């Protein structure tokens, strides 16, 4: 059996926005989770996940789950630090760059939850194959 030797490129860039707001301490994908990315017809590539709070934050966690249509798998956790935004203090923000390409097959989704009831925008960027 031979491996695919043809490079794959995305068909233009994509940005997937979402927002998590409901507290959920679960690590198994149950409870309040928000679907941000639904893989395209030929799959999708996620190159960057960016978080930006729109409110005061307390220490916590944003959790990233891969859902295959049936099962949730915890993929990554992004720490949230305490921040009180003002004219001189920026609201909490963070970026996560997967160390290896995050390729979502057709039918998969990328879902997010937050440990605290705080509004945090989630923006994923990449592309569909």
Say how far apart CA 81 and CA 91 lie, in whole Å. 10
DSSP β-ladder status, 93-96 and 34-38: unpaired
pLDDT tens across 54-107, in order? 999 999 999 999 999 999 999 999 999 999 999 999 999 999 999 888 999 999
pLDDT tens across 3-51, in order? 666 656 777 789 999 999 999 999 999 999 999 999 999 999 999 999 9
Say how far apart CA 46 and CA 37 lie, in whole Å. 9
Q: What is the dihedral of CA 77, 78, 84, 85, to 10 degrees?
A: -140
Of the candidates 30, 20, 13, 25, the one whose C-alpha atom is nearest the C-alpha of residue 122 is: 20
Q: What are the domain boundaries of the chain?
A: 13-128
Domain 13-128 in this protein, CATH class? mainly beta
* pTM of the shown model: 0.91
């Amino acid at each position: 059996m031979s491996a695919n030797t043809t490079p794959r490129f995305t068909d233009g860039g994509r940005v997937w926005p979402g927002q998590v707001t409901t507290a959920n301490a679960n690590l198994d994908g149950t409870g309040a989770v928000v679907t941000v990315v639904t893989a395209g017809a030929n799959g999708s590539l996620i190159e960057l996940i960016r978080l930006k709070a729109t409110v005061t934050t307390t220490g916590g966690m944003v959790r990233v789950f891969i859902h295959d249509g049936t099962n949730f798998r915890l993929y990554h956790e992004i720490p949230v630090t305490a921040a009180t935004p003002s004219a001189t203090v920026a609201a909490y923000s963070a970026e996560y760059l997967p160390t290896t390409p995050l390729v979502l097959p057709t039918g998969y989704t990328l879902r997010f939850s937050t440990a605290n009831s705080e509004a945090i925008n989630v923006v994923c960027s990449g592309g569909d194959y």
